Amino acid sequence: MVDPERLPPPPFWRTRYFALTVLAKADRRWIDPADILRALARPIRRERQEDGRVRYWAYIPRLGTYIRVVTLADGETVHNVFKDSDFTE
């Protein structure tokens, strides 16, 4: 069965919330799908949250900061992305 809340690539699996709400936010116009794919493929850190979602951190030189990518429990469906200036390695 296909999950209507999960949208397929390109560029990657994502929730309807991410596609319609996160990307519509004025303060998220910096989001580049290539940065998300890089974070998922080569994160600096990866953690599972108590609710099962997975967090990935990556440093993005063009932004001069880290981003946090949050996926569903499957580890591939992107649900949220934001700058994480408090992150330390």
pLDDT value, residue 57: 98
pLDDT value, residue 4: 77
What are the residue ranges of helices labelled H in 21-60? 33-41
- Percentage helix, strand, coil, to 5, in the chain? 20, 30, 45
pTM of the predicted protein model = 0.93
pLDDT value, residue 46: 98
Residue 30 CA to residue 27 CA, distance in Å, equals 8
pLDDT value, residue 2: 65
pLDDT value, residue 89: 81
Residue 8 CA to residue 34 CA, distance in Å, equals 16
Residue 27 CA to residue 10 CA, distance in Å, equals 23
Mean pLDDT per 10-residue section of the chain, whose length is 89 residues:
82 96 96 97 98 98 97 97 93
